Amino acid sequence: MARPIVAIVGRPNVGKSTIFNRIIGERLAIVEDRPGVTRDRIYGTAEWNGKPFSIIDTGGIEIFDEDELLKQVRMQAELAVEEADVILFIADAKAGLTPADETIAQLLFRSNKPIVLGVNKMDNPASTDEIYEFYSLGLGDPVALSGTHGIGVGDLLDELVKRLPEKPEELYGEEVIKIALIGRPNVGKSSLVNALLGEERVIVSDIAGTTRDAIDTPFEKDGQQYVLIDTAGIRKRGKVYEATEKFSVMRSMQAIERADVALIVINGEEGIIEQDKHIAGYAHEAGRAAIFVVNKWDAVEKDDKTMQRFTESIRDHFLFMPYAPIVYVSATTKQRLHKLLPVVQNVAEQHSMRVPTNVLNDIVADAVAVNPPPTDKGRRLRINYITQVAVKPPTFILFVNDPELMHFSYERYLENRIRTAFPFEGTPVRFATKRKNDGE
């Protein structure tokens, strides 16, 4: 299911990113100890009181505009108003109420979106005088907080989750494979939808970002039911939106949350850019099955090594997703398009595969016999047993004598041994270590 979206808005230097990091915790600070995982995220996921949500830090969006400050904060506010379910407006107690704050408040007030006002840099809980002037913004009771020290963040989250929309009912049964087409604007997502369906269901344009909303299209092929979720590009209103392409990631996030399989569409003509890594990284972190779909392959000048070189480039850029298969297609000529859905069906099956506990334990026992865990300060990791606790993605718990002795390199070794027996093509796998006597 798609998570509701919270957008953090405010003028520069009020502490938006600090609060963003507080809310998501350390989960995205270092995604994995693997090279190639992009870390400069402006979006994340969080949960409070059992309510999950996605959160976006508008301060992380690079806006290349030489005009005055108010124009920049206005752009950020407009983007947040358009895309988010709940808005978190951050002001700065030390700077006091500014004209920029008032401009943002006016924009937000007209949006009719739920708004939580947080007044940051209230580092001394005993001193609350600075907060009173912010009542004049007309946005309700401000929440005093200090992002740096973590003061008041719980109160802020309490107010946020009160305003989150109710989780919608899932529209499709378990047997339906939900496919999200994700990628930056103008890689050919809508053309790919039309080619797969064999009819013009989605408006296609050469202008990047012309798809306005995520569009669900159910269809059936060879007895298998699918739903295509075509993610929208950013809504273009002049150069303001052209300058903020990163915001399109948020739409991709919503589609990924609902999907079983993410088709990461790459423009074969243009090659790989940093934005492709951002979008693919979120599919990986969300635990979705994934396939790289290189579109517009018909337009690429080729020799007998072109595909091999492009494949190597994908593997070099996406070192954190070695499990994802690559399919080369052309939505225009339908070249190799018939190969795509069989791959989708295969990775969806791998994504929901469950391995018997006795088989898992045999694999791990053999792996340990071949390559015992290294010692750490005279102590050696002892693995008691392993069990699979979830699918989509396959998730395993290793019960050990001391979780701190599990080094990421040894965990990766065990993953590789399991993948040798059960390839889990197209899907990430997750591991957790627990002390043998821990709870559950």
pLDDT at 397: 96
Highest average pLDDT, of 51-65, 70-84, 180-194, 223-237, comes from: 180-194
Is 296 part of any known ligand binding site?
Answer: yes
Q: Give me the residue label for tokens 């990631």.
A: 249
Q: Structure pTM?
A: 0.72
Q: How far apart, in whole angstroms, are the C-alpha atoms of residue 205 and residue 208? A: 8
Is 57 part of any known ligand binding site?
Answer: yes
pLDDT at 403: 92
Is 358 part of any known ligand binding site?
Answer: no
Token pair belonging to 152: 């008041």
Whether 5-162 shares its CATH topology with 177-351 is answered yes
Yes or no: say if 289 and 295 are a contact pair by the CB < 8 Å rule: no
Is 186 part of any known ligand binding site?
Answer: yes
- Coil, strand, or helix at residue 237? strand
Between these two residues, 170 and 44, which has the higher pLDDT value?
44
Q: Is 280 left (phi over 0), alpha (psi -120 to 50) or beta?
A: alpha
**Of all residues in the chain, what percent carry a pLDDT higher than 90?**
45
Token pair belonging to 123: 């580092």
Q: What is the DSSP letter of 146?
A: B
Is 177 part of any known ligand binding site?
Answer: no
Tell me which CATH homologous superfamily contains domain 5-162.
P-loop containing nucleotide triphosphate hydrolases (3.40.50.300)
pLDDT in tens, 34-44: 333 333 456 77
Instruction: Say whether pLDDT at 314 is over 80.
Output: yes
pLDDT at 149: 86
Is 191 part of any known ligand binding site?
Answer: no
pLDDT at 329: 95
- What's the rounded mean pLDDT across residues 118-142? 86
- Coil, strand, or helix at residue 22? helix
Yes or no: say if 22 and 44 are a contact pair by the CB < 8 Å rule: no
Is 154 part of any known ligand binding site?
Answer: no
Lowest mean pLDDT among 129-143, 221-235, 312-326: 221-235
First to last CA, the chain: 26
Q: Where are the domains of the chain?
A: 5-162, 177-351, 357-435
- What's the rounded mean pLDDT across residues 329-356? 95
Strand 43-48 vs strand 51-57: parallel, antiparallel, or unpaired? antiparallel
Tell me the torsion sign for CA atoms 302, 307, 313, 314.
positive
Instruction: Say whether pLDDT at 30 is over 50.
Output: no
Cβ count near 173 (within 10 Å): 7
Adjacency order of strands within the sheet including 115-120: 43-48, 51-57, 5-9, 86-92, 115-120, 143-144
Is 121 part of any known ligand binding site?
Answer: yes
Between these two residues, 368 and 210, which has the higher pLDDT value?
368
Instruction: Say whether pLDDT at 152 is over 80.
Output: yes
Q: Give the pLDDT band (50/70/90) at residue 147.
A: confident
pLDDT at 307: 94
Instruction: Say whether pLDDT at 276 is over 80.
Output: yes
pLDDT at 432: 93
φ, ψ at 295 (rounded to 5°): -95, 165
Instruction: Say whether pLDDT at 209 is over 50.
Output: no
pLDDT at 99: 87
- C-alpha atoms less than 13 angstroms from C-alpha of 86 in its C-beta half-sphere: 21
Is 403 part of any known ligand binding site?
Answer: no
Is 34 part of any known ligand binding site?
Answer: no
Lowest mean pLDDT among 46-50, 128-132, 382-386: 128-132
pLDDT at 247: 54
> What residues contact residue 403 under an 8 Å CB cut-off, 6+ apart?
433, 434, 435
Is 123 part of any known ligand binding site?
Answer: yes
Lowest mean pLDDT among 197-201, 236-240, 306-310, 334-338: 236-240
- Coil, strand, or helix at residue 362? helix
Instruction: Say whether pLDDT at 50 is over 60.
Output: yes
The chain-wide mean pLDDT, for the chain, equals: 82
Is 118 part of any known ligand binding site?
Answer: no
Packing angle between helix 357-370 and helix 408-421, nearest 10 degrees? 120
Is 434 part of any known ligand binding site?
Answer: no
Is 14 part of any known ligand binding site?
Answer: yes
Q: What is the DSSP letter of 333?
A: T
Cβ count near 109 (within 10 Å): 13
pLDDT at 315: 96
pLDDT at 71: 64
pLDDT at 393: 95
Is 352 part of any known ligand binding site?
Answer: no
Between these two residues, 127 and 369, which has the higher pLDDT value?
369
Lowest mean pLDDT among 24-33, 333-342, 360-369: 24-33
- C-alpha atoms less than 13 angstroms from C-alpha of 370 in its C-beta half-sphere: 10
- What's the rounded mean pLDDT across residues 118-133? 83
Highest average pLDDT, of 49-58, 104-113, 212-221, 416-425, comes from: 416-425
Is 386 part of any known ligand binding site?
Answer: no
Burial environment of residue 198 by CB neighbours within 10 A (0 to 12, 13 to 18, 19 or more): exposed
Is 378 part of any known ligand binding site?
Answer: no
Is 366 part of any known ligand binding site?
Answer: no
Is 189 part of any known ligand binding site?
Answer: yes
Cα torsion at 335, 337, 338, 344 (round to 10°)? 150
Cα torsion at 189, 252, 426, 216 (round to 10°)? -60
Q: Give me the residue label for tokens 């999950």.
A: 52
Lowest mean pLDDT among 28-37, 94-103, 124-133, 161-170: 28-37
Instruction: Say whether pLDDT at 113 is over 80.
Output: yes
Token pair belonging to 108: 């937000």
Lowest mean pLDDT among 144-148, 187-191, 258-262: 187-191
Cα torsion at 3, 37, 322, 274 (round to 10°)? 90
Instruction: Say whether pLDDT at 18 is over 80.
Output: yes
Is 202 part of any known ligand binding site?
Answer: no
Instruction: Say whether pLDDT at 240 is over 70.
Output: no
- Name the class of domain 357-435: alpha beta
Is 119 part of any known ligand binding site?
Answer: no
pLDDT at 345: 96
> How far lies 93's CA from each of 74, 133, 136, 157, 253, in Å?
20, 9, 14, 19, 32
Burial environment of residue 375 by CB neighbours within 10 A (0 to 12, 13 to 18, 19 or more): exposed
Assigned architecture for domain 177-351: 3-Layer(aba) Sandwich (3.40)
- What's the rounded mean pLDDT across residues 10-14? 82
Peptide bond preceding 322 in cis form (omega within 30 of 0): no
Nearest Cα residue to 350 out of 290, 292, 283: 290
Nearest Cα residue to 18 out of 153, 126, 169, 180: 153
> What residues contact residue 25 under an 8 Å CB cut-off, 6+ apart?
46
